[in-house]
Structure 1
Amino acid sequence: MSHSDCDTLSVLIAGYGDLGQRIGRLLTGQGRHVVGLRRHVETVPAGVELMAVDLAAGVPDLPAFTQVVFCAAPDGGDPAAYHAVYETAWGNLLTALAAMSEPPQRVLLVTSTRGYAQNDGGWVDEDSPVGARDPQTASLLAAEAMLRRSGLPGLVLRLAGLYGSGEGPLLRSLREGRASRAAGPARWSNRIHRDDAARAVAHLLGLADPAPLYLGVDSEPTDHGCLLCELAEWLRLPAPPMVELPPPAVNRRCRNVRLLASGFRFLYPGFREGYRALLAASGGRS
């Protein structure tokens, strides 16, 4: 499969929320036929067909698709919400795909870097060990294992913390005076702009021979305290106060070498580019 084949591809995007819509806009712009799955369909974006399907309710009856993206997000942060998305809904979709007379040529599962539980501040990549440190992480890793066992031609994109949809909690915490910095060693923050996350998905769908796993993270892991100070300076706000906090349960830097080696290039390779664009779009000061 090559980029030149993209006009013949039909793509199913399961989980047509913010990230799914960004992916859909990119793919329709490339001339692909895109169908989005979501539980409720209120409005239909131009160029995209939407289907009202609750994957958690049972195995759906779906037409054949050339490629499939699963990027559904949990309704909340509790274990039940993660289980409903990454085990129940995802499992039902895999069952539906396996039953198709013509299985998809590629299935891309979006999960999270949450599985890396290292806490020494070191670097992690696709070959670093992961572990189910809580039920939510267990569901994410279970979803990846389900894809491997399915026999479908699949790959996984583990995304770091997403930003870029409105002001977001980090900037709000600064503006509202709620932000604080932890005293002591660096506490590393890993992130990716939502537009780059969507672009990474579209890029991986177009690769002829992708690896089974990629990390979706920008090129600049940043100490959280330094990030807060720089953003506060842009906003012409005082630096957040320093406080004593317990050691973090997780503290690692995520490496994106494999994604870059595949030919992907970031619009926002670091937080400075991403947050300056975000502030400019929202009329904020920088």
Structure 2
Amino acid sequence: MRALAMVRRIIRFLLRPRVEKILRIDPDSKPAVYLQVFDGADIQNVNYWLELFLSAGIATLGLVLSSPAVVIGAMLVSPLMGPIIASGLALAAADLYLGIKSALQLALSIVGSILFAGMLVWIIPLDTATPEILARTNPNLLDLGVALFSGLAGSLLVCRSQSTQGGGSAALPGVAIAVALMPPLCTVGFGLGSGFDLQIMGGASLLFLTNLAAIVASAFFVFFLLRMDGPEVALGIAQPLLERASHDGIYHWLEKRTAISRSFANLGKLRWRVAMLL
């Protein structure tokens, strides 16, 4: 317990106050970063869903054709990094509203991608497992490492995109390439559309869930170190978020359920947020 308390003190008093300066993150840009991530978890964004299904279609055909170039093209289009990074920010800032928005969008994205890929494979039909498909059914620790580093890079690029000292949002597609979020989902869809192959579906699901957990954890780590849960950020986003939420059914649903908000007030403590990741 003493060691854990010492680690908390080191993070709180030594590490967190210095990370912004080391990474050259403008403190005044943090509310804009928060709103940018928040807007990326908009379930009503038609362009998001269009890009998602285009990415799923490209990835599925690339996997069936065993074409790495086509699969990479799908990763360039995939918008899945948005709600995943938003989930990390929601945990770091203990934001129940953003957490529900991002989790709902992510869940619908996962189900939609799998069903679309499965339908495409069933219509074609092509049920031969190519090397590109089989490569995504045997996850290992290297895949976990790639996802962790990609999540760190993606979160940092989002934070720097609003900074006056240099941005990097254009490099986000490169992060998506490394993580390969969409191809594992489409591999699950392939297993579904080619006769409910549990071995393929199970291996690809494990790979995606590994990537998902690693990216959310690394995004949480970055946003927590950058103090996105600070009072100055909350003050800067209060009015813009209220304007955005005024027509959102999720927000009004939460407003009417005070018991959920009270329960999350306890779960919002740091130790419980870390426990959720584990």
Same fold (TM over 0.5): no
TM-score normalized by structure 1? 0.27
Q: Higher strand proportion, which one?
A: 1
TM-score normalized by structure 2? 0.27
Q: Higher helix proportion, which one?
A: 2
